Copies of this chain bind each other. A is one copy, B any other.
Amino acid sequence: MMSMIEIPDGKLIPAVVQDWKTGEVLMLAYMNSIALSRTLETGVAHYWSRSRGKLWRKGETSGNEQIVKEILIDCDEDAILLKVEQRGGACHTGYRSCFYRTLDGRIVGERVFDPDEVYKR
C-alpha cells in the first residue's frame, strides 16, 4: 500500500479500528508515523503503545492479529480509520471489541477468549 498522506514526526493520532465485514468498532489505538509505515509495509496493524512507550504489533502476544483491508483518513488528517479482519478478539479482556459496556456498566459485547489462557498470566 502506498501513502501520500503522512503523519508528521512525533505526532500521535487516534486510529479507529473497525471490523471490515460487520462494521463493529473494535478498539481505539494510537499511531505515529512509524506505526503507520510498519502497518503499510506488513499489512498487519501496528500501533504506538502510549503506556509502554513503544511500537506494538497488535497480536504479538495474544496472536489476535489484525489484517488490514482498508485505511481511511479523516477530513483534517488527524484521525485514521482501519478496516481489519480481526483474528480472535480485539480486547485484552477477552471481548471481541473493547467497547463491550454501556456507560452504566451493562455488558453488551461478546467474550471470545479467556485472557488468562491467552496471556499466560
- Report which A residues bind B (CB closer than 8 A): 1-5, 14, 16, 18, 22-25, 27-28, 40, 70-76, 79, 81, 91-93, 95, 98-105, 108
Contacts and interface: CB of A to CB of B under 8 A. Distances in A.
Copy number in the complex reads 2
Given A14-B14, A22-B23, A79-B98, A103 B28 contact: no
Nearest to A30: B14
Given A25-B81, A79-B28, A102 B14 contact: no
A28 B16 contact: yes
28 contacts: A1-B103, A3-B103, A3-B104, A4-B104, A5-B101, A5-B105, A14-B14, A14-B28, A16-B28, A18-B23, A22-B23, A27-B79, A70-B102, A71-B103, A72-B99, A72-B100, A72-B103, A72-B108, A73-B101, A73-B103, A74-B99, A75-B92, A75-B93, A75-B98, A76-B98, A79-B98, A79-B99, A81-B99
Contacts of A98: 74-76, 79
Nearest to A14: B14
